[in-house]
Structure 1
Amino acid sequence: MPDTRFTPVTGIDSHAHVFSRKLNLVTARRYTPGYDATLLEYLEHLRVHNLSHGVLVQPSFLGTDNSYLLEALQQAPQHLRGVVVVERDVSRDTLNDMARLGVVGVRLNLMGKALPDFREADWTDFFNHIAELDWHVELHRQVEDLPGLLHQLMPFGIKLVIDHFGRPDARLNVDQPGFREMLKLGGSGQIWMKASGIYRLAGTDQQNLKFARSALSMLEQSFGLHRLVWGSDWPHTQHEDRIGFCTVVEQLQALGCSSQLMRSLLVDAPGKLFGFHSGCELSTPGV
């Protein structure tokens, strides 16, 4: 894994994507980008907003071809980590090669897909490899299905990361199916939550932010301060016409986090989860 000891951590963006329109997109996709999201653009966003490190996540429309992401990791190894999408029969040698480039997890984007049965033998072999590598498994699914998925995955002893507040519906209250069950599992010490994608919570901007504030407070109580990380979700696919990096930074600041929680979201928790080394005090992101 790349060594970051000499790159002070002032803030970590735990969720972003890079891609090009020239890449081969999977046939079965929910979204087709009409623009490029380059590494140079992303690194400039980090610089402008006083963030030193980032985590690149493979977008669903690229399937299991992680080559663009892996190339990006090699261009800024001290500043980046990666989360890939792979087939469950991927070889251990391939996973080891990815680990050497800075990959620290795999993503299961289950939005719009049939729910898998993780008790199947090939899944068991796959998760055993992930556990041995000390990687995490990132889940992207609506909140009502998360408790069942988490119950299946927790016995493997792997680190679990939930995308975008668990994708609850901000138009509903916190008693919506799955949300409180997910909170109860947070005390296991095995699960992290990405406080990201507020604009993906299905409500108006005001509803989304109000729900995110309440949710973050509850998540802090159940998951614990050091199991919460923040991500920009750049370049905000499907919402790029009205959401920018400045928007999500403003939303983060509008959550009203304590200084302790803000530091944990941006430095301490992601530093530990993704294998970055914290070398200095938090510099609050600016717009």
Structure 2
Amino acid sequence: MLTTTALGACADTPKRAGADKITAIDTHAHVFSHDLPLAQRRRYAPAYDAQLSRYLAQLDAHDVSHGVLIQPSFLGADNRYLTQSIVQAPQRLRGIAVIDPAAVAAEPGQLDALARAGIVGIRLNLFSLPDPDYTSAVWQATLEKIASLGWQIEVHCEAQRLPRVVGPLVDRHGEPIDVVVDHFGRPKPVLGVDDPGFRYLLTLGATRRVWVKVSGAYRNAVAKTGPDANGAATALAAMPLLEDAFGFDRLLWGSDWPHTQFEHVESYDAVYALTLKLLPTERARRAVLVDTPAKLFGFA
């Protein structure tokens, strides 16, 4: 059971003055405590805390009014810390949960409870995991419930898997579901924008059902050290292609704070600076940082 002690300084975080005015929205960040129960299947476990108070301080320092908290993969489907964090600043924050489709199919009401807590979608973080079987009864029931709530599904997987993971969601019959693809679609670093999976992602712009996060550029870098360790080259090459295929009203920005597994080489300052370089015009910044995420995540 989570306690206020586990949440640390979150409960003491004051409400930001003027938090109802949207100056920018960070659509991808994580908060956690390193001593929380961890998922049995995980690729990584932190040895530090990423407290909500620290995250809100980063937002304030960069004049970012709102944020979206993404359930960390290493916490599995236990979304309690996530929802307890959102309640500390409900006007500023929304959340994306991780769920167990079998549990949802057995008890659909749990998604209603998450919705009341500020959750607006689920994330499929599929690295080291198999593709979802959307044809199964549990997934069919879960997708219907997600659609009825008006939620989105965020996808994080290798670009080469996007046709199998995103394709069925876009092509499914029934009430449509919005799909968000994380971190530039995660092209293979050595291929960059020439990755066939990234090229497939570009074709999805025409559906108007898919959004792409221009986030985590360093996760697409060829190497963790060197002149392009932040992945800027791939990001700069990808941006005009994404703009042409999707338009700014289908692109989102996220800091990916606290930059898990890249904590010692990345910072909010550096990530935000790259974002401003990727979005050099006021029109682009207004669309990607304010208008598009405000509508998709329910801030507007």
TM-score, normalised to structure 1, is 0.91
Structure-1 residue corresponding to 2:258: 235
Q: CA deviation at 1:178?
A: 1.3
Q: CA deviation at 1:263?
A: 1.1
Q: CA deviation at 1:170?
A: 3.5
The 2-side partners of 1:25 and 1:58 are apart by 12
Structure 1 moving runs of 4+ over 3 Å: none
Q: CA deviation at 1:97?
A: 1.1
Structure-2 residue corresponding to 1:98: 114
The 1-side partners of 2:207 and 2:288 are apart by 19
The 1-side partners of 2:202 and 2:28 are apart by 21
Q: Is structure 2 residue 184 aligned with structure 1 residue 165?
A: yes
The 2-side partners of 1:174 and 1:56 are apart by 28
Q: CA deviation at 1:188?
A: 0.5
TM-score, normalised to structure 2, is 0.88
Structure-1 residue corresponding to 2:291: 268
Match of 2:61 among 24, 30, 48: 48
More divergent stretch after superposition (43-52 vs 217-226): 217-226
- Which stretches in structure 2 are left out of the alignment for 5+ residues? 1-17
Structure 1 residues 119 and 54, CA, compared in 2 at 3 Å: closer, same or farther? same
Q: CA deviation at 1:147?
A: 1.9
The 2-side partners of 1:187 and 1:86 are apart by 29
Q: CA deviation at 1:177?
A: 2.1
Q: Aligned runs of 1:70-149 on 2, under 5 Å?
A: 70-89=83-102, 90=104, 91-149=107-165
**SS of 1:178's equivalent?**
helix
More divergent stretch after superposition (166-175 vs 122-131): 166-175
Contact 2:192 2:220 in 1 (8 A): no
**SS of 2:166's equivalent?**
helix
Contact 2:19 2:65 in 1 (8 A): no
**SS of 1:206's equivalent?**
coil
**SS of 1:65's equivalent?**
coil
Contact 1:74 1:101 in 2 (8 A): yes
The 2-side partners of 1:114 and 1:182 are apart by 20
The 2-side partners of 1:185 and 1:147 are apart by 10
Match of 1:14 among 23, 27, 33: 27
Q: CA deviation at 1:6?
A: 7.2
Structure-2 residue corresponding to 1:37: 50
* Number of residue pairs matched by the alignment: 273
Q: CA deviation at 1:28?
A: 2.0
More divergent stretch after superposition (254-263 vs 35-44): 254-263
- Letter matched to residue 37 of structure 2: N
The 1-side partners of 2:130 and 2:164 are apart by 13
Q: Aligned runs of 1:150-229 on 2, under 5 Å?
A: 150-154=166-170, 155-156=172-173, 157-204=176-223, 206=228, 208-229=231-252
Structure-1 residue corresponding to 2:41: 28
Structure 1 residues 77 and 201, CA, compared in 2 at 3 Å: closer, same or farther? same
More divergent stretch after superposition (110-119 vs 78-87): 110-119
**SS of 1:195's equivalent?**
strand
- Which stretches in structure 1 are left out of the alignment for 5+ residues? 278-287
The 2-side partners of 1:22 and 1:170 are apart by 33
Contact 2:131 2:164 in 1 (8 A): no
Structure 1 residues 222 and 87, CA, compared in 2 at 3 Å: closer, same or farther? same
More divergent stretch after superposition (230-239 vs 94-103): 94-103
Structure 1 residues 64 and 216, CA, compared in 2 at 3 Å: closer, same or farther? same
